Amino acid sequence: MKRNIALYPWFKFAQSLLFWQAVWFLYFQSELSAQEAILLYALFELATTVLEVPSGYLSDKVGRRITLIIAAGCGVGAAALQIGGATFAIFAVAQLLLGACMAFFSGTDSALLYESLAAEGRTDETEAQELRAWRFGFTALALSAVTGGVLAQIDFAWVYIGSTVSFVAATLIALKFKEPPHEARNQSARADLSALRSALAKPVLVWLFVIFMLSHIYSHLPFVFGQPFMLKALDAVGLAQETPLVSGAIVTGMMLISLLASAAAPRLRARFGLGGMLLAAFALQIGITAAMALSGAAAIILVLLLRMVPSSFLGPFIVARIQPELPDAVRATYTSLKSLAGRLLFSVTLAASSVLAGDADTLPMETIQIVLTAYVIAGVLAWAVLAATIRRAQVDT
């Protein structure tokens, strides 16, 4: 279990070396159309959605280690298929594999860490260990973003070669994990369902379920629309050809700023409470979306530097808060369900957004802003409901 705890941050590092993250939309749009690029991301979200709960159940019943090995293996296939460009069908298969990869990772990695800590009698370290692993992951995201932007200027193929190697590394680390002690692995499906129903009846888990689902959507809006936004904004000032480099630099900058923000997260949590910090983080996500919706100026690209700051206040603290509330039998299943809800809602809205893109080769700025305005209105309403129910949920108890 000590080896699991020591390897876990490095697993998150390898898992997060996504060299394609800053250029994927530009790549798809260069090979296909803007509408097909959005549809491919919607397909990824849909694939992840379909597999979220089955992968969580597999993790709870079969084991954390084997589930993580499957996840990393799917990542290898997804990245390798996209080397050198392809047809829509091959890209679609790659997105299905990538969706499977993310679904099998979802919740299982955190469950392995928590159960390894529990076996060592170190559950009081959960929040600190999750934050440490999160920093490893974001460091990898920062490094791979700027590197990916440079590689894309040479050839998009190198971006996916790098990602293939990183997923191979994640697979090798997963093979070195040892399965942690895990209660209730052999209990009946009826008992599992009863445990899950009891968990979902807890107000705190319902509240955290909703804010996690919404934060997933609003964190990914700049991810999906940020690249076409940058392309149009830079085109207006004659710098469209520099978009891959600018995108890589912006993504790297946002990761580094988020890492700096994470240093203040424990103090903010102590000062404003967990609930107050989570609401503030969600409000910032809505604000970033609103800035993109209101103006297409190149200066707004700098606002994207704040995109991952909310994640430093949301991700590790939500994970640490829910773990003690969940029994082992449904630990990964619950996490998968909340990811399922966010991805399902996001994939449906993205599919609807693709209709607005029509047959355009590149996504128009007007379309981007119409779509984002709708998300802003919905986000403000959702934030108001969360703020009104936070006391009843007893998030800070």
Provide the CA 394 distance to its chain's centre, in angstroms.
26
Structural domain of residue 337, as residue ranges? Answer: 2-178+191-393
The answer as to whether 184 is a domain residue is no
Nearest to 109 by CA among 209, 10, 213, 200: 10
Residue with tokens 């399965």: 179
Tell me the three state secondary structure of residue 151. Answer: helix
Cβ neighbors of 192 (< 8 A, separation 6 or more) are: 57, 60, 184, 329, 330, 333
CATH of the domain at 260: 1.20.1250.20
The answer as to whether 339 is a domain residue is yes
Structure tokens at 165: 């190697």
Structure tokens at 35: 């509408």
Number of domains in the chain: 1
The answer as to whether 23 is a domain residue is yes
The answer as to whether 311 is a domain residue is yes
Residue 91 carries which DSSP code?
Answer: H
Q: For the chain, how long is the longest CA-to-CA vector?
A: 63
Cβ neighbors of 165 (< 8 A, separation 6 or more) are: none
Structure tokens at 172: 């090798």
Query: How many whole angstroms separate alpha carbon 350 and alpha carbon 360?
Result: 16
Handedness of CA 115, 120, 125, 130 (dihedral sign): negative
Tell me the three state secondary structure of residue 242. Answer: helix
The answer as to whether 101 is a domain residue is yes
Residue-wise pLDDT for 198-233, tens only, equals 777 788 888 988 898 898 889 888 878 888 888 888
Residue-wise pLDDT for 269-311, tens only, equals 888 888 899 999 999 999 999 999 998 888 898 998 898 888 8
Q: Choose between 196 and 226: higher pLDDT.
A: 226
Residue 187 carries which DSSP code?
Answer: S
- Going from the C-alpha of 237 to that of each of 154, 247, 297, 299, 364, the distances in angstroms are 23, 16, 9, 11, 16
Nearest to 265 by CA among 213, 309, 215, 308: 309
- Contact by Cβ (8 Å): 160, 20: yes
In angstroms, the first-to-last Cα distance of the chain is 29
Query: How many whole angstroms separate alpha carbon 72 and alpha carbon 5?
Result: 18
Mean pLDDT of the chain: 85
Residue with tokens 């047809």: 87
Cβ neighbors of 157 (< 8 A, separation 6 or more) are: 83, 84, 85
Q: What is the CA radius of gyration of the chain?
A: 20
Percent of the residues in the chain that have a pLDDT greater than 70, as a whole number: 95
Provide the CA 244 distance to its chain's centre, in angstroms.
21
Query: How many whole angstroms separate alpha carbon 247 and alpha carbon 253?
Result: 10
Residue-wise pLDDT for 165-182, tens only, equals 999 999 999 999 999 887
Residue with tokens 């530009």: 26
- With 70 as the cut, is the pLDDT of residue 380 above it? yes
The answer as to whether 149 is a domain residue is yes
Residue-wise pLDDT for 12-66, tens only, equals 999 999 888 878 877 887 788 777 887 888 788 788 878 877 888 888 888 899 9
